Amino acid sequence: MATLVAFHAHPDDESIAMGGVMAKASDEGHRVVLVVATRGEHGEVAAGFLGPDEALWQRRVEETKACADILGVARVEFLGYVDSGMMGTPENDLPGSFWQADVEEAAARLAAILVEEHADVLTAYDEKGNYGHPDHIQVYRVGVRAAELAGTPKVYLNTINRDYMLRTMRAAIDAGAVVPDDLPSEEDFQIGVPEDRITTTVDIRPWLARKRAAMAAHASQISETSFFLSMEPPVFEKTWGQEWFILYGAPAGVTETDLFAGLG
């Protein structure tokens, strides 16, 4: 069996982006380690949600632990950086923010975990962080460098199949689905990467209930009335029943259905 280290920017990113793959890996006997760069200090939270004197980061750490239990994660580590906020906000420039972190220093922190765990597989994000969030972009930079330092055999860039999502959106609209007012146009929809860049598509439908439960565990950020969890079950399955990756450095033509392909 192998060890997977999933590297993410904030609490809740792991469940949305690859909760199914993490649950699948755990059920198949692999060791799953979750490393989160920040504690999500600058996320939004509904008024009255937190307890007296409770900081958002404290709740998000507890939510991450609950999510990890649902997904079968064996170890959770936080790298100790501060949430950088959305691109262009003042939080980007705060001392200690992940966006301001020295890549070599941050990579060394992550590499130490990779070496300690004898990691076979590391996941980060694609080079634009899926949607341009500064902490997600930094996960790409730090993750790739950490794998180099640690000699991790396989690195996957966790991403979104943009063409698939566009097809799914069109089909839902054609079927009369109610869509959010702020849904971007097809021209403005720049999340993820084009389909031809995807090397690895994992069918996670057998683990979809676990993925949904993991998302719901992050209740400070993903309420039951949120865009994610308010989907009807068939729509949720269509949208979230696959998870996508790019095998870093893979030659043209590689097509996989599992992150552990080729490992002894």
CATH number at residue 16: 3.40.50.10320
| Per-chain mean pLDDT for the chain | 93
Give tens-digit pLDDT for 80-133.
999 999 999 999 999 999 999 999 999 999 999 999 999 999 999 999 999 999
What is the per-residue pLDDT for 252? Answer: 79
Is the residue at 168 inside a domain? no
The pLDDT of residue 187 is above 70: no
HSE of 202, CA atoms in CB hemisphere, 13 A: 26
Average pLDDT over residues 141-156: 98
Q: Write down the residue that tokens 């793959």 correspond to.
A: 21
What is the per-residue pLDDT for 144? Answer: 98
Is the residue at 262 inside a domain? no
Is the residue at 109 inside a domain? yes
Is the residue at 237 inside a domain? yes
Average pLDDT over residues 165-189: 69
Is the residue at 88 inside a domain? yes
What is the per-residue pLDDT for 190? Answer: 77
Is the residue at 178 inside a domain? no
Model pTM score: 0.94
Is the residue at 56 inside a domain? yes
What is the per-residue pLDDT for 183? Answer: 59
- In 3-state terms, what secondary structure has residue 29? coil
What is the per-residue pLDDT for 253? Answer: 83
- In 3-state terms, what secondary structure has residue 117? helix
The pLDDT of residue 244 is above 60: yes
Q: Write down the residue that tokens 């950490």 correspond to.
A: 146
Is the residue at 9 inside a domain? yes
Residue ranges making up the domain that contains 210: 3-162+192-247
- Quote the CA–CA distance of 16 and 27 in Å, as a whole number: 18
- Sheet with 31-38, side-by-side order of all strands: 75-81, 31-38, 3-8, 121-125, 154-159, 242-247, 200-203
- Quote the CA–CA distance of 122 and 166 in Å, as a whole number: 28
Q: How many domains does the chain have?
A: 1
